[in-house]
Chain A
């Protein structure tokens, strides 16, 4: 079983749609959670951190359920510019220390069309 699993999609949605991505992780010692965005042939870039209380950044809402080991990302009012691969990322706490090693999911491809 992969440490971080995502539905690879692809998701094809019209502009203005609401789309949700899900992710599960296997290591209960996980400490920090993120969503990254990656454009074609570019490096990953941090979209937002994910907190247990849930957090929102404009049209983007992230949720974390530690009990279920589940992370989600909701994008409202999709724009053409949202087309990208969305990576679910976990920072595991290894042996009581966490130095920043990130474990990535496979990525979910989103295409927003006119």
Chain B
């Protein structure tokens, strides 16, 4: 596998439930990012990991959101007590250290979350 893999592709959940998404980056990439994209908007940055360290979190990442990258490989994004406003496409990307940190920047296919 040479790309960024995200699971599940689609998730429908009832309001108030917890959901967890997984991202498997390109194996040699040490940098991993999560973004959220709502309809008609560009992706918005949520958080960034370098190896296992979470180095930046957006103010968009409320207390209900948590992300981990325990061994510096795959990452999980959990949303607790989901709200309808959480409905969006959650995109994961990875890159290797390089010019501007964007060397080989690759997005996964995303997880589309619908909260009903």
Binding site for B on A (CB under 8 A): 4, 8, 31-32, 34, 41-46, 87, 89, 91, 93, 98-107
Chain A's closest residue to B6 (CB) is A43
A106 to B105, CA, bound (A): 20
- Whether B65 is near chain A, meaning CB under 8 Å from some CB there, is no
Q: Are A100 and B31 in contact (CB under 8 A)?
A: yes
Q: Are B40 and A32 in contact (CB under 8 A)?
A: no
Residue of B44, B45, B91, B101 most packed against chain A (CB within 10 A): B101
Chain B's closest residue to A99 (CB) is B101
- Whether B13 is near chain A, meaning CB under 8 Å from some CB there, is no
Chain B's closest residue to A8 (CB) is B40
17 contacts between A and B (CB under 8 A): A8-B40, A32-B100, A44-B107, A87-B42, A87-B43, A99-B31, A99-B101, A100-B31, A100-B48, A100-B95, A101-B45, A101-B48, A101-B56, A102-B33, A102-B45, A104-B42, A105-B42
Q: Are B107 and A43 in contact (CB under 8 A)?
A: yes
Q: Are B50 and A102 in contact (CB under 8 A)?
A: no
Bitwise, B88-116 to A at CB < 8 A (1) or not (0) is 00010101000111100101111010000
A70 to B56, CA, bound (A): 27
Chain B's closest residue to A93 (CB) is B100
A2 to B40, CA, bound (A): 15
Q: Are B102 and A43 in contact (CB under 8 A)?
A: no
Q: A43-B107, A100-B31 are in contact. Are A106 and B42 (CB under 8 A)?
A: yes
A103 to B48, CA, bound (A): 13
Q: A99-B48, A100-B31 are in contact. Are A32 and B110 (CB under 8 A)?
A: no
A28 to B35, CA, bound (A): 23
A102 to B42, CA, bound (A): 11
Contacts of A93 in B (CB 8 A): 100
Within 8 A of A (CB), among B10-51: 31, 33, 35, 40-45, 48, 50
